[in-house]
C-alpha cells in the first residue's frame, strides 16, 4: 500500500521534487507503515511528538523545576553504542572501501538490509525528515532526508540539524540530497546493520536506535558519506571540534582539533580559561564540538563550518569542574539518554557530584553491584545555541578561517604534551599515525591501544590510503595551510596519575600553538617535530611541578624509533605506497 503523506495530524504537503516523492513512495511500499508524516520542524510538531513519546514511555519526564523542558530516554541495554563491526561501506569496488572499512558488494548489501526493511513499519508511523548539515544558507552545507520510524530520532534530528521546511526548500532548489533510511526494527543485535553506499549518496540503518547508528545526519552522513563527497569535490569532512581562541588584543584564531570519541572534544570546544587568563582578557568561542567541514577559500586558507546544529555529548565526567559551559548548556530543553536519576527526578551520572542516584540507567533501583549508575556512553542532546560560549560566527555562511589543526589521542606514555609538525606532509603523518586508548563510545574492550588516523577510523567513507593522499593534495601553490600540532592531555606518571591538569589549563597549550602560528612562541626542533622550549609554556598558577613539566615535554628517542617502525608497518598495511611523503616523513625518527 502507499501510505497517505501527512504533516502534523492531517495536512498533505509532500514535495514538489519528483525524485524525493518517488523515493518516499518506494520506501512506504517496502516498509508498509500505517501512516507517513512529513516533518516541518515546527515548535508545534516538536511539542506533539514529545507528548506522544511521553504517553507511550519512549520519553520520561525529569524534574521540570530544576531542568525545564528536559526528558529522559532509556534505550535497550543491547543498543548503547556504535557497532563498528556491523557498519559497512559499500562502493562498487572493494579496494575503494580500503582495509579500514567492512565492505559488502552494493547489490548484496541492499538485498540483505531490504529484506529486513520489508514490512518493518507495519503498525508504525514513518517520518520523513528533511535536514540541512550546516548553516541553511551556506554554500558549504549539504542536505539530506532521513526516513525513520522512531519519533526519538526525529526529536534528536531537530536539535542536531537544521530540520524541516527550510531544509526541504533548499533540497527542492538543488535537486540533490543524501538519502537515509532507518528503522529501529526489533532492536535485535543479530538483526542490525548500518550500510553506506557513497556512490549513491545513500545510507540504510536497521535494528538500532542509538545516536551514531540512528541519527543518520551525524556520523553516517556528516562523516562517512561527506568524506567521500569531499574527496570528489575538493574539501575535507573531519571528526573535529572547532573552537575560537580570542587573545587580550581581541584577535581570534580558530582551531580545528581531532580526538577520538570520549577523549575531550566537547571539553576543549567549551573550554573556560584559567582565572589568570580570564583576567587578562582571553576568551573562548564554541563553533562545534564534533564535526568540521573545511573548504579552501579564495584567499588560500581553509575555511570551516560545523555541519551540526547541536551537541550529542557524553554525560559521564561532565561536571562543574570539567566543563561548566556544557553543564550550563544542558539545564533545560535537553534530551538525556541512559543517564541515572536522583530521587527528585534530576538527571545524574558519574563525575557530576557526590549525590547517590535513586535509579540507574535501566530504571532499576540503584545498586553499585550492577555497575555504573549511568551508562558510560550515556548522552545529552541539546541545541548548540544554548552554549554560553556559542560563537557569534558559528552560523556564518562562509565559515571561519582555520589557523591550526590539532590531533590528539589518549596516550599514557611516549607522546609529549604538545609538538608541532615540521611541515604539511609531516602533519598529515602525525594525524595518520595517531593512536589512542579505546573508550566506551564504541562496543568492545576499553583501554586497548589502537591506531585511529585523524580520529576517523570508524568514520572514513573510503580507503585510508586515498584519504591520506587527498589530505596531501591540499599542499599546492598559493595555499596558506594551517600549521598542524599533536597534543596529549593523558600522559601518566609512574604511579598511573595524569601529569597534566587538563580542562581550562589546556588553554596554556593553545596559547603556545597560536604563538607558533604567529611566529612568536619558542620551540626546539627535534626529530618528532617542534617541542616547546623550556619556559615557552606559561604554567604560572598551574598545578604541575617543574619535574613533571620536564617529563611532559621529554622525547624518548629509542621509543620514537620503535614507534616509527610500528607506524611504517601500519601504513603499509593500509596500502600507503613506500614513496609516499607520509612514509618519507618517518625517516628523521629513525635517524
Tell me, yes or no, whether 348 and 442 share the same domain.
no
Tell me, yes or no, whether 215 and 120 share the same domain.
yes
* 204 close to 195: Cβ distance less than 8 angstroms: yes
Tell me, yes or no, whether 14 and 103 share the same domain.
yes
pLDDT in tens, 168-188: 999 999 999 999 999 999 999
CA distances to 28, 29, 54, 70, 193 from 23, rounded to whole Å, are 9, 10, 31, 35, 21
Q: What is the CATH number of the domain that holds 476?
A: 3.90.228.20
Average confidence (pLDDT) over 380-395: 98
State pTM to two decimals: 0.95
Tell me, yes or no, whether 202 and 255 share the same domain.
no
What the block records as the C-alpha cell of 377 is 556512553
Average confidence (pLDDT) over 402-412: 95
* 103 close to 193: Cβ distance less than 8 angstroms: no
Q: Of the given ranges (11-20, 271-280, 290-299), which has the lowest mean pLDDT? A: 11-20
For the chain, give the mean pLDDT: 95
Asked whether residue 167 is assigned to any structural domain, the reply reads: yes
Asked whether residue 76 is assigned to any structural domain, the reply reads: no
Asked whether residue 298 is assigned to any structural domain, the reply reads: yes
Q: Report the binding-site residues for substrate.
A: 82, 210-212, 261, 377-379
pLDDT in tens, 314-331: 999 999 988 999 999 999
Tell me, yes or no, whether 419 and 304 share the same domain.
yes
Tell me the C-alpha distance between 336 and 567, whole Å.
Answer: 39
Tell me, yes or no, whether 44 and 188 share the same domain.
yes
Higher pLDDT, 438 or 377: 377
What integer pLDDT is reported at residue 427 of this predicted model?
A: 98
Tell me the C-alpha distance between 367 and 381, whole Å.
Answer: 26
* 416 close to 400: Cβ distance less than 8 angstroms: no
Nearest Cα neighbor of 338 from 529, 501, 522, 209 is 209
Name residue, grid cell 548553516: 135
Tell me, yes or no, whether 259 and 400 share the same domain.
yes
pLDDT tier at 437 (50, 70, 90 boundaries)?
confident
Tell me, yes or no, whether 157 and 142 share the same domain.
yes
Total structural domains in the chain?
3
pLDDT score of 4 more than 60: no
Percent of the chain with pLDDT over 70: 96
What the block records as the C-alpha cell of 446 is 576499553
Tell me, yes or no, whether 28 and 172 share the same domain.
yes
Tell me the C-alpha distance between 537 and 291, whole Å.
Answer: 28
Asked whether residue 452 is assigned to any structural domain, the reply reads: yes
Burial 307-327 (b: 16+ CB within 10 A, else e): bbbbbbbbbbbbbeebbbbbb
| Boundary of a domain, candidates 179, 207, 234 | 234
| Boundary of a domain, candidates 326, 361, 386 | 386
Largest CA distance in the chain: 73
Asked whether residue 280 is assigned to any structural domain, the reply reads: yes
Q: Report the binding-site residues for Mn(2+).
A: 219, 239, 290
Question: DSSP assignment of 81-132, as one string?
Answer: SB-GGGEEE--SSHHHH-TTSB---HHHHHHHHHHHHTTTTTTSEEEEEEEE
Tell me the C-alpha distance between 145 and 132, whole Å.
Answer: 9
Nearest Cα neighbor of 270 from 236, 314, 237, 238 is 314
Tell me, yes or no, whether 483 and 338 share the same domain.
no
What the block records as the C-alpha cell of 567 is 607506524
pLDDT in tens, 514-558: 999 999 999 999 999 999 999 999 999 999 999 999 999 999 999
CB neighbour class for 29 (10 Å; exposed up to 12, middle 13-18, buried from 19): exposed
Asked whether residue 74 is assigned to any structural domain, the reply reads: no
Asked whether residue 253 is assigned to any structural domain, the reply reads: yes
What integer pLDDT is reported at residue 8 of this predicted model?
A: 40
Tell me, yes or no, whether 380 and 510 share the same domain.
no
Tell me the C-alpha distance between 83 and 210, whole Å.
Answer: 10
Asked whether residue 66 is assigned to any structural domain, the reply reads: no
Half-sphere exposure of 163 (CA within 13 A, CB side): 31
Q: What is the CATH number of the domain that holds 321?
A: 2.170.8.10
Domain of residue 204 covers 5-58+82-234
| Boundary of a domain, candidates 191, 209, 234 | 234
pLDDT in tens, 351-373: 999 999 999 999 999 999 999 99
What the block records as the C-alpha cell of 206 is 536497521
pLDDT in tens, 194-205: 999 999 999 999
Would residue 351 be called left, alpha or beta, if left means φ above 0 and alpha means ψ between -120 and 50 degrees?
left
Nearest Cα neighbor of 175 from 201, 203, 212 is 201
pLDDT score of 398 more than 90: yes
Catalytic residue list: 263
Tell me, yes or no, whether 256 and 404 share the same domain.
yes
Tell me the C-alpha distance between 395 and 237, whole Å.
Answer: 17
Amino acid at each position: 500500500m502507499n501510505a497517505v503523506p501527512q504533516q502534523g495530524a492531517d495536512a498533505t504537503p509532500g514535495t514538489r521534487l519528483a525524485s524525493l516523492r518517488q523515493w518516499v513512495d518506494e520506501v512506504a511500499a517496502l516498509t508498509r507503515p500505517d501512516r507517513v508524516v512529513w516533518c516541518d520542524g515546527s515548535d508545534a510538531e516538536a511539542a506533539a511528538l514529545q507528548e506522544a513519546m511521553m504517553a507511550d514511555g519512549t520519553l520520561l519526564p525529569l524534574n521540570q523545576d530544576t531542568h525545564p523542558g528536559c526528558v529522559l530516554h532509556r534505550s535497550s541495554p543491547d543498543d548503547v553504542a556504535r557497532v563498528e563491526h556491523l557498519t559497512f561501506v559499500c562502493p562498487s569496488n572493494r579496494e575503494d572501501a580500503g582495509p579500514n572499512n567492512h565492505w559488502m558488494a552494493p547489490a548484496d548489501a541492499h538485498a540483505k538490509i531490504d529484506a529486513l526493511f520489508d514490512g518493518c513499519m507495519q503498525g508504525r508511523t514513518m517520518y520523513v525528515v528533511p535536514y540541512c548539515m550546516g548553516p541553511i544558507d551556506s554554500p558549504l552545507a549539504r542536505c539530506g532526508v532521513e526516513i525513520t520510524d522512531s519519533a526519538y530520532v526525529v526529536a534528536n534530528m531537530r536539535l542536531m540539524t537544521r530540520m524541516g521546511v527550510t531544509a526541504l526548500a533548499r533540497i527542492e532548489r538543488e535537486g540533490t540530497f543524501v538519502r537515509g533510511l532507518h528503522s529501529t526494527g526489533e532492536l535485535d543485535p543479530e538483526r542490525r546493520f548500518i550500510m553506506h553506499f557513497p556512490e549513491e549518496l545513500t545510507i540504510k540503518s536497521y535494528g538500532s536506535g542509538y545516536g551514531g547508528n540512528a541519527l543518520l545526519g551525524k556520523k553516517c552522513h556528516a562523516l562517512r558519506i561527506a568524506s567521500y563527497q569531499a574527496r570528489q569535490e575538493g574539501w575535507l569532512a573531519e571528526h573535529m571540534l572547532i573552537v575560537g581562541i580570542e587573545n587580550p588584543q581581541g584577535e581570534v584564531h580558530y582551531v580545528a582539533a581531532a580526538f577520538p570519541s570520549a577523549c575531550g572534544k566537547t571539553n576543549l570546544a567549551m573550554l573556560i580559561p584559567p582565572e589568570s587568563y580570564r583576567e587578562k582578557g582571553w576568551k573562548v568561542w564554541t563553533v562545534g564540538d564534533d564535526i568540521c567541514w573545511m573548504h579552501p577559500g579564495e584567499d588560500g586558507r581553509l575555511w570551516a563550518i560545523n555541519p551540526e546544529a547541536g551537541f550529542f555529548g557524553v554525560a559521564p565526567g561532565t561536571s562543574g569542574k570539567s566543563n561548566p559551559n556544557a553543564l550550563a548548556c544542558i539545564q533545560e530543553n535537553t534530551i538525556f539518554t541512559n543517564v541515572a536519576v536522583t530521587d527528585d527526578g534530576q538527571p545524574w551520572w558519574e563525575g557530576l557530584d557526590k549525590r547517590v542516584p535513586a535509579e540507574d540507567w535501566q530504571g532499576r533501583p540503584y545498586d553499585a553491584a550492577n555497575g555504573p549508575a549511568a551508562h558510560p556512553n550515556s548522552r545529552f542532546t541539546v541545541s548548540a545555541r544554548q552554549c554560553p560560549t556559542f560563537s557569534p560566527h558559528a552560523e556564518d555562511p562562509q565559515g571561519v578561517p582555520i589557523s591550526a589543526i590539532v590531533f590528539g589521542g589518549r596516550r599514557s606514555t611516549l607522546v609529549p604534551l604538545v609538538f608541532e609538525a615540521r611541515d604539511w606532509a609531516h602533519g598529515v603523518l602525525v594525524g595518520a599515525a595517531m593512536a589512542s586508548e579505546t573508550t566506551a563510545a564504541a562496543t568492545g574492550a576499553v583501554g586497548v591501544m589502537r591506531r585511529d588516523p585523524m580520529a576517523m577510523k570508524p568514520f572514513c567513507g573510503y580507503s585510508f590510503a586515498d584519504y591520506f593522499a587527498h589530505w596531501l593534495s591540499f599542499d599546492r601553490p598559493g595555499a596558506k595551510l594551517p600549521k598542524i600540532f599533536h597534543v596529549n592531555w593523558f600522559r601518566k606518571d609512574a604511579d598511573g596519575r595524569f601529569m597534566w591538569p587538563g580542562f581550562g589549563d589546556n588553554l596554556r597549550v593553545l596559547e603556545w600553538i597560536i604563538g607558533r602560528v604567529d611566529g612568536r612562541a619558542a620551540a626546539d626542533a627535534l626529530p618528532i617535530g617542534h617541542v616547546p622550549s623550556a619556559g615557552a609554556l606559561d604554567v604560572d598558577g598551574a598545578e604541575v611541578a617543574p619535574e613533571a613539566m620536564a617529563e611532559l615535554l621529554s622525547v624518548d628517542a629509542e621509543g620514537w624509533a620503535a614507534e616509527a617502525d610500528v607506524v611504517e608497518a601500519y601504513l603499509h598495511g593500509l596500502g600507503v605506497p613506500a614513496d609516499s611523503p607520509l612514509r618519507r616523513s618517518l625517516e628523521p625518527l629513525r635517524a
